[in-house]
Amino acid sequence: MNYDIQKIRSYFPVLHQKVYDKPLVYFDSAASAQKPIQVLMAKEKLHNDYYGNIHRGAHFMADKTTVQFEEVRDKIRNFINAESREEIIFTKGTTESVNLVAYSFCEKFVKEGDEIIVSEMEHHANIVPWQLAAERKKAKIVKLPFNDLGVLEIEKLPSLINQKTKLIAVAHVSNVLGTVNPVSEIIELAHENNVAVFVDGAQAVQHLQIDVQKLDADFYAFSAHKLYGPNGVGVLYGKKKWLEQIPPYQGGGEMIAEVSFEGTTFNQLPLKFEAGTPNITSVIAFGAAIGLIIEIGLQNIEEWELSLLEYATSKLKEVQGIRIYGEAPEKSSVISFNIEGIHFYDLGVLLDKMGIAVRTGHLCADTVMQHFGINGCVRISFGLYNTKAEIDIFIAALNKVRLMF
């Protein structure tokens, strides 16, 4: 594999620093990834060279900004192979994408007594909006469980789907277990029963090549900040047939065709779902992040990160008293664990003092914690810039902490 890790790391100046006088080891990319210079420069260039509000300006600056903004929509369409650019909606992030669909889809298609299936391994962002919608519509949430390896029990899915089932919400990759879920299989089964599927791709797009047409996903959501882009921006992909039928999520400028006190007509897709001035700067900078991913190649990134995952898993398994949560045969770049006799929070704090950034706590996934009967755990997660040498530093630090207890 031709993977020039030194060159890649040189794009991320933030990684070359010391924390508490120790070289920084950043193992928290699943929470938010670091930003390359291409992204930082894109932001600066926009504000130094030209800037205007988009879609409505009749001047050079506004036109130029609009073109740049809309080019990113095309880039994203290509990146996930959506059929048309109208199916790419810019949101604030995955959370807003879920809320949009939970509100608008349920408003149109879910009625009293209907059911929405949600997997047990979801991030809170892919549970709570469905609960809120279900409460509003007097519908029911049905759990699709996972087993102790962290694998969804999809053999149970046929018995969970019935005439009342309207939608299945599932993560492509779990933010705690790292499991890569069989979303194609789930979607196929759902569609045989006329059920729509919402895929939370927040932990998938940065690691796996996504083809929404091949997956046949009805909705697919992700955030720019986990994809080496800025925060405050995300994407909702939705099949045109759904987006055309469901009502707007928010009202305001941009999303209208005509407004009068007698009534309002709505704009065409995608603007129907983009009320108000969007996060112009971040969308344009997001384009630079996608550009970098394409330049490195997702296939290469996937191979590199899998080698890190395998290496770290085998090293971690040698650590005395360790319990890893999530041992599915198909995993992506996260490993969650606890060490017997050490509180996850203490472990996180002590690792931090050794320059190693990890995530601790419930990881916004209470239902996963409840499954394992724990209050929290430690999670390490890899990005395209991490190395085996960093894993060695981490394992040595872990053993040092273990000896302290």
Amino acid making up residue 304: W
Nearer to ligand PMP among residue 175 and residue 333 (C-beta): 175
Q: Would you call 364 a catalytic residue per the annotation?
A: yes
- Indicate whether 199 belongs to the interface with ligand PMP (CB under 6 A): no
- Verify binding: residue 364, ligand PMP, rule CB under 6 A: yes
* 27 vs 393 by CB, closer to ligand PMP: 27
- Residue 120 binds ligand PMP, judged by CB under 6 A: no
Of the candidates 361, 360, 353, the one whose C-alpha atom is nearest the C-alpha of residue 397 is: 353
Pick one of 25, 171, 217, 301: the residue that binds ligand PMP (CB under 6 A): 171
Q: Tell me if 267 contacts ligand PMP by CB under 6 A.
A: no
Span interacting with ligand PMP, options 14-22, 81-89, 119-127, 158-166, rule CB under 6 A: 119-127
Q: Does 232 bind ligand PMP (CB under 6 A)?
A: no
User: Residue 153: how many CB atoms within 10 A of its CB?
Assistant: 13
Q: How far apart are CA 122 and CA 135, in angstroms?
A: 19
* 269 interacts with ligand PMP by CB under 6 A: no
How many CB atoms lie under 10 A from the CB of residue 311?
A: 16
Q: For the chain, give percent helix, strand, coil, nearest 5.
A: 45, 20, 35
The phi and psi torsions of 364 (rounded to 5 degrees) equal 55, 35
- Using CB under 6 A, which of the segments 44-52, 189-197, 200-208, 314-322 binds ligand PMP? 200-208
- DSSP letters, 246-273, are SPPSS-SSSSEEEEETTEEEEPPTTGGG
29, 99, 165, 175: residue in contact with ligand PMP (rule CB under 6 A): 175
Residue 101 touches ligand PMP, criterion: CB under 6 A: no
Q: Which stretch binds ligand PMP (CB under 6 A): 55-63, 90-98, 130-138, 351-359?
A: 90-98
Indicate whether 179 belongs to the interface with ligand PMP (CB under 6 A). Answer: no
Is residue 115 a contact point for ligand PMP (CB under 6 A)? no
367 binds ligand PMP (CB under 6 A): no
Smallest distance from ligand PMP to CB 26, Å: 16
Could you say whether residue 200 binds ligand PMP (CB under 6 A)?
A: yes
The smaller minimum CB distance to ligand PMP, of residues 93 and 348, is found at 93
Total residues at interface with ligand PMP (CB under 6 A): 14
Write the DSSP symbol of residue 28.
B
Among 125, 139, 152, 356, interactor with ligand PMP by CB under 6 A: 125
For β-strands 256-260 and 377-381, DSSP reports them as: unpaired
Per-residue DSSP letter, 195: -
Grouping H, G, I as helix, E, B as strand and the rest as coil, residue 241 is: helix
**Residues 294, 297, 302: CA angle, nearest 5 degrees:** 130
**Residue 138 CB, nearest approach to ligand PMP (Å):** 26
Two tokens at 44?
């600066």
Q: Which of 342, 350, 364, 395 is catalytic?
A: 364
| Cβ at position 262, least distance to ligand PMP in Å | 37
Q: What residues are paired with 143 via a beta bridge?
A: 118
The number of beta carbons lying within 10 Å of the beta carbon of residue 276 is 10
Q: Which residues lie closer than 8 Å to 8 by C-beta, 6 or more apart?
A: 296, 384, 385
Three-class DSSP category at 51 = coil
Shortest distance, position 379 Cβ to ligand PMP, whole Å: 10
Q: How many CA atoms are closer than 13 Å to the CA of 13, on its beta-carbon side?
A: 5
**Which amino acids are annotated catalytic?**
364
Give the footprint of ligand PMP on this chain (CB under 6 A).
Answer: 93-95, 123, 125-126, 171, 175, 200, 202-203, 223, 225, 364
